[in-house]
Chain A
């Protein structure tokens, strides 16, 4: 069949300029985008998250030290101050740090670190350090910044084994930030498929699925996590452990999404246009993909975003208790394990720094989800 001349490309192109300007002609996604842009906190959150994920992606390059490198000379060293002005009041354009030397607190006789103003190391870009693979592909020894050997740079202090906190936080973010994404991704797919089947076909299939969801939901989540994590055998490869944990989180998380999907399917499947499509002989798959999904995919994205913070908190809690990610792999929860003892927090408060990153990420996701929800709601002004 030949297309009518009026629908030819040139004609629609000619109509475009006016349509793009007028908000009434904008597509659903464009409307959402315009609304989202107005939500200031959500926009800032998006930038913050973008930055965090960017850092996580290039973690090995950005972290001055590797996950395994330690220096027993600097156990529990406090964060170093990056200075521009030296002891004599002279200003240096290139920032530098003083070497730490250990001393004894005259009152408590505890080991402390003081800055040795004799030895200073200036901060440099692209210094040589440990070898690693850039993006997992290109072997190199250059790190974004650092100080020349034998100097040490501990921007956020060190832990009980003399490992650089900053490097570990940056490297740990790879796991802490990706687990919720992968976990939510899996529950998204599971929820979409199972909820979709339940809502679209209904009947006995629906009742069975609903009972299963009810059962999973009436489990006390945390003990269930604990029990399942306790079942992960110790001393398995990091990748396998990672997968196990993601699956555990996804297994519990999908039920919420499945409910949302089911509800939407039920409310949409009796709409006139869907029935019309059915009468016209359109297949189930096509109806679902073409007519139903676009109607509520935005809600799903919102629900998914809002599910992420819980996963982050869950992962942190599990790793904190030693039931989630285990060393040698590192996540923020693992880093916080040292903060379990109150003496540690009292003496070395910088061990709580990873907590700041957890809170920042969770807040950012919460605001982002808020902004998306407002944007996705067509009735909200």
Chain B
């Protein structure tokens, strides 16, 4: 099931990228004209023929897919002037670092707060966190990025743009560079993670509230189990289910959610690359990225299913066929 979906998605992606008027050659020639060089129509046609852009869309698509399947070749990025795979590799590492740290941040922050706000419902702390999470859902995260950058600029004298300070960008990995990266990660992680953290807190809180009054909890309490043990043994375990079932989606949503933030914060990760590729009609690069992300979503769902089966005995028995 997953494979045809991915195939279909990849074709639509390819088609959508072709939609804007003009193609890479025309945007390239516009750049050249701006730089003072003029391309003749013949030059442009020659370039199109070289890049295979003169063929119909479906033919280009077929060639692209054929190369991916048989040679693992994702095509050529016109903008970067190197194979798409090289561009992807260049940005993949940091993209993964940012995404995974954000994901860890989300769960580490959201689950305890969710449990706390449910157990202490209507307390001051509950109102505080609920207020924050509502605000977090309502603020467009790219603007939060600007506000945080401004604050860090006024407080520390450094807007913490990008992921490294200028002296470390090309330096080899070292302890100091690592610390520098961690320092720069704070804002992106908060910004990218806040909305989904807020969402997770709401879900966790709602689930916990449902679970806390179930008969099994009351039975456990009447048997004299300690409150902490009750809390973690029954309601928390059950409340984690819906969180786990969205686990797979969250990675791809971080990937896409980070796009605008990364543009604003000037992070050297996939967001800005993707944005430029889409605008410049660098279609193999954009297509590969979109394909990647849809793959991630499909894969994420699979991971969620496996995790859920592992966590929840009810679902496990269903899988085995009663």
Residues of A within 8 A of B (CB): 211, 214-215, 218-224, 226-228, 230-231, 233, 309, 313, 316-317, 320-321, 336, 339-340, 342, 345-346, 352, 355, 358-359, 362-363, 366-367
Extra A-B contacts (20), CB below 8 Å, given A224-B16, A320-B143: A218-B9, A218-B297, A219-B9, A220-B293, A221-B256, A222-B256, A223-B259, A224-B290, A226-B274, A226-B278, A230-B278, A233-B21, A317-B140, A320-B142, A320-B260, A336-B143, A342-B149, A345-B149, A352-B143, A358-B138
Contacts A/B (CB < 8 Å), 19 sampled: A215-B5, A218-B297, A219-B290, A221-B256, A223-B289, A223-B293, A224-B16, A226-B259, A226-B274, A227-B13, A227-B16, A227-B290, A230-B278, A317-B142, A320-B260, A336-B143, A340-B146, A355-B139, A362-B137
- A342–B257 touching, CB < 8 Å: no
How far is it, in angstroms, between the C-alpha of A336 and the C-alpha of B5 when the chains are bound?
37
Mask for B297-313, Cβ within 8 A of A = 1, else 0?
11000000000000000
Describe A's contact surface by its main secondary structure: helix
For B279, list chain A residues within 8 Å (CB).
Answer: 230
User: Min CB distance, B71 to chain A, in Å?
Assistant: 25
Residues of A within 8 A of B147 (CB): 345, 352
Is B8 interfacial (CB 8 A cutoff)? yes
Counting from the closest, the 10 A-B pairs by CB-CB distance are: A231-B19, A362-B138, A220-B256, A220-B293, A231-B20, A222-B256, A363-B138, A227-B16, A218-B297, A359-B138
Shortest B8–chain A CB gap in Å is 6
Q: Which residues of A contact B268 (CB under 8 A)?
A: none
Contact check, A316 vs B140: say whether CB atoms are below 8 A apart. yes
Query: In this assembly, does B243 line the interface, its C-beta being within 8 Å of a C-beta of chain A?
Result: no
Given A231-B16, A231-B20, residue A358 in contact with residue B146 (CB < 8 A): no
- With a CB–CB cut-off of 8 A, which chain B residues contact A336? 143
Q: Is B275's CB under 8 angstroms from A226's CB?
A: yes
A230 to B274, CA, bound (A): 12
B interface, size bucket: 35 or more
Enumerate chain A residues within 8 angstroms of B203, measured Cβ to Cβ: none
In the bound complex, what is the Cα–Cα distance between A156 and B164 (angstroms)?
Answer: 36
Which residues of A lie under 8 Å from residue B8 when comparing CB positions? 215
Q: Which residues of chain A are within 8 angstroms of B161 by Cβ–Cβ distance?
A: 342
Specify which of B134, B143, B260 is in contact with A366 (CB 8 Å cutoff). B134
Contact B264 A340 (CB under 8 A): yes
Q: A230 CA to B275 CA in the complex, in Å?
A: 10
A227 touches which of B9, B17, B142 (Cβ 8 Å): B17
CB nearest neighbor in A for B265: A342
- A222–B140 touching, CB < 8 Å: no
Residue of B nearest to A346 (CB): B150
Residues of A within 8 A of B143 (CB): 320, 336, 339, 352, 355
Q: Is the Cβ of A342 less than 8 Å from the Cβ of B150?
A: yes
User: When the two chains form their complex, are residues A228 and B19 in contact, meaning their CB atoms are under 8 A apart?
Assistant: yes
Interface residues of chain B, those whose CB is within 8 Å of chain A, are 5, 8-9, 12-13, 16-17, 19-21, 134-135, 137-140, 142-143, 146-147, 149-150, 153-154, 159, 161, 252, 255-257, 259-260, 263-264, 274-275, 278-279, 286, 289-290, 293-294, 297-298
Known contacts A230-B279, A359-B139, A366-B138, A220 near B17 by CB under 8 Å: no
Which residues from chain A contact B154 at a C-beta distance below 8 Å?
346
Whether B298 and A218, one on each chain, are in contact in the complex, defined by CB atoms closer than 8 angstroms, is: yes
> Which residue of A is nearest B159, CB measured?
A342
- Partner of B9 from the list A215, A231, A316, A363 (CB cut-off 8 Å) is A215
* A157-B286 Cα distance, complex, nearest whole Å: 40
Contacts of B9 in A (CB 8 A): 215, 218-219
| Shortest Cβ distance from residue A374 to the other chain B in the assembled complex, whole angstroms | 12
Q: Which A residues are in CB contact (< 8 Å) with B294?
A: 218-220
Docked complex Cα distance between A342 and B21 (Å) = 33
Closest chain A residue, CB of each to CB of B259: A222
CB distance from B317 to the nearest CB of A (A): 24
Q: Which residue of B lies closest to A340 (CB)?
A: B264
Q: Decide yes or no: A339 and B140 within 8 Å by CB, A214-B5, A222-B257, A227-B278 being known contacts.
A: no
A226–B260 Cα distance when bound, in Å, is 10
Please report the C-alpha to C-alpha distance between residue A214 and residue B4 in the assembled complex, in whole angstroms: 12
Interface centre among B20, B138, B142, B154 (most CB of A within 10 A): B138
A359: B residues at CB distance < 8 A: 135, 138-139
Q: Report the minimal beta-carbon distance from B67 to chain A, rounded to whole angstroms.
A: 22
Q: What separation, in Å, do the CA atoms of A233 and B134 have in the docked complex?
A: 37
Chain B residues positioned under 8 Å from A342 (CB to CB) = 146, 149-150, 153, 159, 161
Asked, given contacts A215-B8, A218-B9, whether A317 binds B260 with beta carbons under 8 Å apart, the answer is yes
**Cβ–Cβ < 8 Å partners of A224 in chain B:** 16, 290
Set of chain B residues within 8 Å of A215, measured between Cβ atoms: 5, 8-9, 12
Asked if A223 and B146 sit within 8 Å, CB to CB, the answer is: no
**Cross-chain contact A220 with B264 (CB below 8 angstroms):** no
Q: Chain B residues with Cβ under 8 A from A363's Cβ?
A: 134-135, 138
Q: Complex: how many Å from CA A316 to CA B142?
A: 10
Residues of A within 8 A of B150 (CB): 342, 345-346
Bound: A346/B256 CA distance, A: 28
Given A226-B275, A227-B16, A339-B143, do A321 and B5 touch, yes or no (CB 8 Å)? no
